[in-house]
Each structure stands twice: as C-alpha cells, then as structure tokens.
Structure 1
Amino acid sequence: MESTNRLSAIQFLLVVQRWTGLLKWKNDEGDGILSRLKRIYPFVLHLPLTFTYIALMWYEAMTSADFEEAGQVLYMSITELTLVTKLLNIWYRRNEAANLINKLQHNPAYNLRNHNEIQFWERNQKDFKRIFYLYIGGSLFVALMGYISVFFQEEYELPFGYYVPFEWRTRERYFYAWGYNVVAMTLCCLSNVLLDTLGCYFMFQISMLFRLIGMRLSALRNAPEEKARTELRRIFQLDAKVRQLTRECEVLVSPYVLSQVIFSAFIICFSAYRLVHMGFKQRPGLFLTTVQFVAVMIVQIFLPCYYGNELTVHANALTDSVFATNWLEYSVGTRKLLNCYMEFLKRPVKVRAGVFFEIGLPIFVKTINNAYSFFALLLKMSK
C-alpha cells in the first residue's frame, strides 16, 4: 500500500511538463554541463517561441488601424498574457512546486492504509485523468481547427493573427509565417492547459486528503475507545499537515487563478465581439474555431473554480464526520479531545486568489456575468 502511485492521474503529464520547460528537471542542482543545460532549457525553448510570439501579437494589436481590426487579435493576445503570468509564476516558484509534488507523492503521512482507501483513491484519480485529458485534447483540437480552417479561405490568412516582419501574403512566403504560427501556438496552448491541469490537480489532491480524513473519522463508529483515541491523534496530525499543504498550494495557484479570472471576462468579450463581426457565411471555419475557443475558455475558468470549491466543501464537511464517530460512548477525556478538534475545525479552509476573492463557483458565475456586461458595452460603443 505504501507503493501506491498517489499521482497516477498526472504522472505522464509531469514528464510532458518537464519537456515543455514548465517544471524543473530532477537532479538539476549540480555544476555539470547537463545540469546547466536543464536549468537554461526552459528559457531556450520559450524565449524564441512563446515570448516572441506573444510580443508580436501585442504589436499587431497596438498597430491596428481601427478597433475592429484590433479585436481580431486582442482575444488571443489577452489569453497569452495569462500564460505569461502562469509561466513566470511557476518558474519563480519552481522549487516550491517540486517540493509540493514530492510531498504528495512520497510523504509517508499520506499513505493509503487499506483496500477501501486505495479503491477510493484510484477511482477518483481516473475520473480526474479522464476529465483533463478531454480538456487538453479539446484545447489542442481547437488549435488544430484554426490551423486547417485558413486553407478554406479565399485570401491568405493566418490561423491566429500576429505581426509578421515581412510580406507573407504570397504563395512562396505564406508557409513561413503559417509554420511559425503553428509551432508557437501549439507550445503556448499546451503550456497553458498543462499549467491549468497542475494547479487544479493540487487542489484536487488536497480535497481528496480531506475526504480521506472524513472516511477515517467515520470508520471509528464501531472502534473501541482505546483504539479510537490513538487514531484520533493521528487524524489530527494529518489534518494539520493537509492544512499546511493548502497554504503551500495557495501560494502556487493564487497568481495564475487571479490572472485567469481577471482576463477571462475580456477574452470571452472580445471573442464574442469577433464572432458578431465575422459572420458564419463569410468565414465558416474561423467562426466554428472561435466558438470552440469560447467553449474551452469557459471550461478553463470553471475547472479551477470547481476544484477550489471542492477543497473548501470537503474541508468544512469534517465537522459532520466528527459526529459520525461513536463520541457519545467515549470518556470525558476523549470527548474533550474531540471538542478541541471541533474548535480547530472552525478555522475555515479556503484557497484565495491574491487578497481579492476565494476560489470557488461564485467567482465563476461573476466572471461570466462580467464578460456579458463588457460585451454589451462593447457592442454599444461600436454602434
């Protein structure tokens, strides 16, 4: 049971994230050539592709002739600005992220004890894996549709607009601009969704640990008091460690969720504005691609809000789990111990985005409402 892979849902994705320069490599702290290459690898990969590509997109938006033309680029430019925040955050806190992953995977305090716990863990890991593989696949499919749809247009057009420093609307040079667009956007898209997956997985894993604590409390219903008292002390210690994990998780996910929520309303707004001015008959391929992009963006906001909400709900549900024990039959000393734990549980467990709001479903609803308000205001201004 100690050898159970507690990170089975993202084990392969962790490898992909190292190869895409998002997470630090193992054993990269030495002075050898290989260690140095591992440390500079993320910058060598992302500087000519991600950061240069995003800079060219913003240059194109700022030098556009009118607001309608800028709106065709802004929806993606703001999306990639969120990616920059995520990249800088994970690079700045690369050691904290590696330590948290190591704790979740190898710390013996979080070992699963019996067959029921292993079944519970593996079932939920498979559900998470299924959801996020669909999310990653759907995001990459939207990018693929964008790459292909431009070939059905009458004029030369790039899948995702950016400034090209040469005349690319010719048969000979078009594929140079198109090829760079495909490589850079694929890396940006993959990096974006992988960082979303990592942040959501941290919150998912911690919520699973709170659920595990609740299961262990409920399992004390028929246990003798002497055994229950020893187990209660272990549960209290585990609860304190999981709350510490929550604080570490908050440091990692707070900046990226904050930027995602702030910019998502504008992203959805400009995407809807682009759809209104594009029309299905004129550009059916790009129209469908933009519709899919909006759907993926809504899912991208929903997922961290959902898993942040799940973490809070399962942490607060521990109070009910305490009442599921056989506390009426315990001695005064054991009941006092439970009473102290109940007082400890009054401290709410919440993951906050900066100092502005709690990560949960209410902020998702508010973001969608803000996006609609911005869209209505933008339409009114354009008229």
Structure 2
Amino acid sequence: MTEVFRHSTFISQEIIRLSIIGFYPNNIKWKFLTYLWMVIIYLITAAQMWTVTALTIHSVDLTVISEIFLFSMTQISFINKLISFHMKLKNAAKLERMLSRNVFTQVSLTELAVMKQQFKKCQRVLNIFIVLCFGVVLFYAVFPAIDQGQPGQKNYPFPGEFPFNPDDYYMWVYCGQILTVASSAWTNSAIDCLFQKHVTMATVFFQILCGRFRNVMDKLDENNEEILRRIKKCVIYYNATIEYVSMIQNTFSYGILIQFLCSVIIICLTVFQLSLVVDYNSTKFVLMIIYLLCMMFQVSLYCWYGHILMEKSNEITAACYAINWNDLDLVNQKLLITIMERAKRPVELNALGVFKLNLSTMVTILRTSYSYFAVLQQIYKK
C-alpha cells in the first residue's frame, strides 16, 4: 500500500521566509514590494560594510582591526551566498519541482514513517540554529545599551566611519545597524536551513532505496520477471536521487565555498576577541560566545549532513549484496553487479571541488582557525 507525500511541505517555512524578501522564485502577491525589500537588503548591507571597513584606514590598533575584519568577513560571506543563491533562483525552483515527481512522492507507509521521523530530527536541529541566530541579533541590539562606555559617549553595535556625525542621528544609525544584522540573520539562516533540508531529503531517499533493494525479493521466490521490474524501479529511483543531489550541488556549492573560507577567519577572530580583548563581565562577551557557537554550528551543519548523505549513499552496495542474489537468474545478477559497481563511488557534496562536506573538513576548518589564532596571539603579545 502506497501513500502520496508532498516533500515541498518540509521546506515550506524556508520558502515563505525567502519569498517575503524576494529571494525565492514563486508567484506571490505584492511582488514589487518583495523586490524592493531585496534591493534594500543589498543597499543597507553594502553601506554597513563601507562604514565599518573605512575605519581600517585610520586605525593601527590590532584589536580594532580584528573586530572590523570579524564583521567584514561575516558580511562578505553573507553577500556572496546571497548573490550566488540569487543567480541560481531557477535551480531552487527546479529542486522543488523534482520533489513533486511520482518517483519520490509514491511511498509506502513504512517509508513514510521513516521520512517523517528524519524530518522531525532535522527540524529540531535547525530550530537550535535559528535560536542561536536570534540570540546574536538580540544581543547585538541590547549590548550597547547595557555596556556603558565613558560618560556622554554613545555606543553603537558596530564601529564605523561616517561622513557625518552619527551622534546627531543616533537612533537612525543604531536601528540601521540592527536592521543589517537582522536581515543578514533572517536570509542567511533561511538559505542554510533550505540547504540542510534538501540534503536531509536526499539522505532519506538513499535510506528508502536501501530498504527497497533489501526487499526486492520479498514474497517473490522464483518470479524473476517481477524481480527484474522491481530492480529497474530501484534504478530509476537511484538515478533520480543522484540527479537531485547534483542539482543541490550546483545550486549551493559556491556559497558554501565562500562560507567555509570566511568561517576559518571568523572563528579565529572571534576566539581572539574572547580571549584577549573583550571583558569577561560585559554583555559583549556573552554576545561573542553566542556568535562563536552560531558560526561553529553553521559550519557543523554543512559538514554533518553532507557526511550522513555520503554514508547513506555508500550503503547501496551492502543493500544489493544482502539480497539472495545467488537465487536470481543471470540477467538480474548482472544488473545488480552494475548497480554495485556504480555505488562503489559514494555520492558526495563539495564546495566547488575545493572542500568535501564531511567531518574531516570540519576538523580541518577548526584546526586552521586555531593555527591562525595562535599566530595572531603571538603578534598581539609582541
């Protein structure tokens, strides 16, 4: 007995979040306003980066420069990811259409239960990430008001070089900086969550495929024609899943590459700020802790879900071998051998061929960040 399951419901939250700001290709009402908001996001992000990086011209203080580069790397990563996703909007629509194929929507009750269980696990993990993003925005909004500086001095979420006196427009500048962080967190987390959910669905497809291979001879002892029909259906499912993963790779790989390169510097500078610059009793220290957790969690999501996808695709060979293949005719045995040979090469996601999305890459990022931190620490002490 089979059921029809709409996989697009799993990514509906991310579609809504990206549609509101014009970064998803669907026919929604008030499209002009969404495009206007999209342009505003680009403008305020570029303006905020300009005001912050302009400080490097007049500053020789390593602590100030590290704080500037910390914010700059975050925004560079965000803008590149945003532009990359914007250029691949048609691919995002193709991914959604792929999920509506009959090969994916027709599932058994057992497979449906497996899917719902994995989707719930993924959503719980992503909820933690969303809470961390919200915490970063919240603390960026409140720490300048709590951590008072010198008497009469007005604090801002970020340092900046303005062509005017920002104290004359304090509330406008303050709200503008918070709006930059909020829009970045909203869009960035939505793109991240959309990617993780697509990868989770691909992982579940491989898990379902393994179960179908193991059950290819279920209630069929000598009917080789029916077994051949089942194996061919598995091959169609396998090819559709590989095509789906390839589209995920094509849509998100450039943004992931920039994210990983910037994350190395961001984690390094955040640890530097925590260990040597920020006062332990300040609100900013709590902010930097949450920010560090958020960045490490973000990188971990990419590497962890990419690693699980690779492992599940690697189980196809064992699933084929688990069949009583010696009871099959020669045609079915040759077909199984062909599938097993193809499955020897696991399906892997990578960042434009530079980084593979697995746990080894996660360790490499953390190790490189620590190496940079050690060098920066020595420079600071001298």
Fold equivalence (TM over 0.5): yes
Q: Determine if contact 1:305/1:363 at 8 Å carries over to the other structure.
A: yes
Q: Distance in 2 between matches of 1:89 and 1:61?
A: 27
Partner of 1:280: 279
Q: What does 1:105-116 align with in structure 2 at a 5 Å threshold?
A: 106-116=100-110
Does 2:214 correspond to 1:214?
Answer: no
Instruction: Identify which range, 46-55 or 106-115, moves more after superposition.
Output: 46-55
Instruction: Identify which range, 357-366 or 372-381, moves more after superposition.
Output: 357-366
The SS at the match of 1:202 is: helix
Q: What does 1:289-304 align with in structure 2 at a 5 Å threshold?
A: 289-304=287-302
Q: Distance in 1 between matches of 2:171 and 2:379?
A: 37
Partner of 1:80: 75
Question: Kindly tell me: are residues 62 and 328 of structure 1, through their superposed partners in 2, closer, same or farther at Cα, counting changes over 3 Å?
Answer: farther
Q: What does 1:151-166 align with in structure 2 at a 5 Å threshold?
A: 151-155=145-149, 156-166=154-164
Partner of 2:120: 126
Question: Kindly tell me: are residues 165 and 223 of structure 1, through their superposed partners in 2, closer, same or farther at Cα, counting changes over 3 Å?
Answer: farther
Q: Determine if contact 1:265/1:370 at 8 Å carries over to the other structure.
A: yes
Question: Kindly tell me: are residues 279 and 358 of structure 1, through their superposed partners in 2, closer, same or farther at Cα, counting changes over 3 Å?
Answer: closer
The SS at the match of 1:363 is: helix
Aligned residue pair count? 373
Give the counterpart letter for 1:88 in structure 2: I
Q: What does 1:1-383 align with in structure 2 at a 5 Å threshold?
A: 3-26=4-27, 37=32, 40-41=35-36, 43-104=38-99, 106-155=100-149, 156-169=154-167, 173-224=169-220, 225-281=224-280, 284-383=282-381
The Cα offsets for residues 144-193 of structure 1, whole Å up to 9 and x where unpaired, read as 01211211222222123333333234xx6322221111111100111111
Q: Distance in 1 between matches of 2:27 and 2:51?
A: 33
Instruction: Identify which range, 372-381 or 10-19, moves more after superposition.
Output: 10-19
Q: Distance in 2 between matches of 1:2 and 1:27?
A: 29
Question: Kindly tell me: are residues 348 and 279 of structure 1, through their superposed partners in 2, closer, same or farther at Cα, counting changes over 3 Å?
Answer: closer
Q: Distance in 2 between matches of 1:292 and 1:99?
A: 35
Give the counterpart letter for 2:288 in structure 1: T
Question: Kindly tell me: are residues 313 and 109 of structure 1, through their superposed partners in 2, closer, same or farther at Cα, counting changes over 3 Å?
Answer: same
Q: CA deviation at 1:115?
A: 0.8
Q: Distance in 2 between matches of 1:2 and 1:222?
A: 19
The Cα offsets for residues 274-312 of structure 1, whole Å up to 9 and x where unpaired, read as 12333435x510011001111111111110111111111
Name stretches of at least 5 consecutive residues in structure 2 with no aligned partner.
none
Q: Determine if contact 2:314/2:345 at 8 Å carries over to the other structure.
A: no
Q: Distance in 2 between matches of 1:218 and 1:41?
A: 52
Q: Distance in 2 between matches of 1:97 and 1:328?
A: 43
The SS at the match of 2:323 is: coil
Question: Kindly tell me: are residues 41 and 102 of structure 1, through their superposed partners in 2, closer, same or farther at Cα, counting changes over 3 Å?
Answer: farther
Question: Kindly tell me: are residues 61 and 26 of structure 1, through their superposed partners in 2, closer, same or farther at Cα, counting changes over 3 Å?
Answer: farther
The SS at the match of 1:85 is: helix
Q: Determine if contact 1:220/1:326 at 8 Å carries over to the other structure.
A: no
Give the counterpart letter for 2:95 in structure 1: L
- Please provide the CA RMSD for this pair: 2.1
Question: Kindly tell me: are residues 205 and 63 of structure 1, through their superposed partners in 2, closer, same or farther at Cα, counting changes over 3 Å?
Answer: farther
Q: Distance in 2 between matches of 1:19 and 1:54?
A: 24
Q: Distance in 1 between matches of 2:106 and 2:36?
A: 36
Question: Kindly tell me: are residues 61 and 112 of structure 1, through their superposed partners in 2, closer, same or farther at Cα, counting changes over 3 Å?
Answer: farther
Q: Determine if contact 2:81/2:259 at 8 Å carries over to the other structure.
A: no
The Cα offsets for residues 8-40 of structure 1, whole Å up to 9 and x where unpaired, read as 332122111111232223379xxxxx66x2784
Q: Determine if contact 1:268/1:297 at 8 Å carries over to the other structure.
A: yes
Name stretches of at least 5 consecutive residues in structure 1 with no aligned partner.
29-33
The SS at the match of 1:347 is: coil
Q: Distance in 2 between matches of 1:62 and 1:257?
A: 30
Q: CA deviation at 1:375?
A: 0.3
